[in-house]
A = this chain, B = another copy of it.
Amino acid sequence: MLLTPKDPDWEARVRSSFARQPFMATLGARMTHLAPGAVDLEIELRDDLTQQHGYFHAGATSSIADSAAGYAALSLFPAGSGVLTSEYKINLLNPAKAPTLVARGRVIKPGRTLTIARGDVYGLEENGQVHVATGLFTLMCLEGLND
């Protein structure tokens, strides 16, 4: 599927919005890939992001999956609009104990009002990657929100 941005300034807009999300800074999230309809976010294992067994908390895992999906959608929205997560569902497939997690947000159905994206989270280990979570996200385009 060929995904074409409507806003010539899409790249700067996505990066600027991401930079203004304090919660992403709290998680230490970095945007490591950005293309039309596709965003990767990465976080590193740190004590303050864990649950009681030392793995990433499902809340941290889900948060980067949600943001990756949201920014993948925003990259396709027209200028002067913002993005809102309407709903999502996520399955946690394997323990998130790798030193690095990457969340890959990919638009599967762009739309004027609603955009559907997949969000997959992988644990990056020395010998390969583990599929930590898979989710489906519904993102809403809000005109005049100006993300």
Contacts and interface: CB of A to CB of B under 8 A. Distances in A.
Contacts of A64: 59
Nearest to A19: B52
Given A22-B47, A22-B50, A108-B134, A93 B66 contact: no
A64 B63 CA distance: 12
Interface in A104-119: 108-109, 113-114, 116, 118
Interface stretch (A2-10, A31-39, A79-87): A79-87
Interface of A is mostly: mixed
B62 A66 contact: yes
Interface string A30-68: 000000000000000001111111000111101110110
A93 B67 contact: no
A67 to B, nearest CB: 7
A24 B145 CA distance: 30
A59 B66 contact: yes
Given A21-B52, A59-B23, A63-B59, A93 B116 contact: yes
Among A24, A58, A59, max chain B CB count under 10 A is at: A59
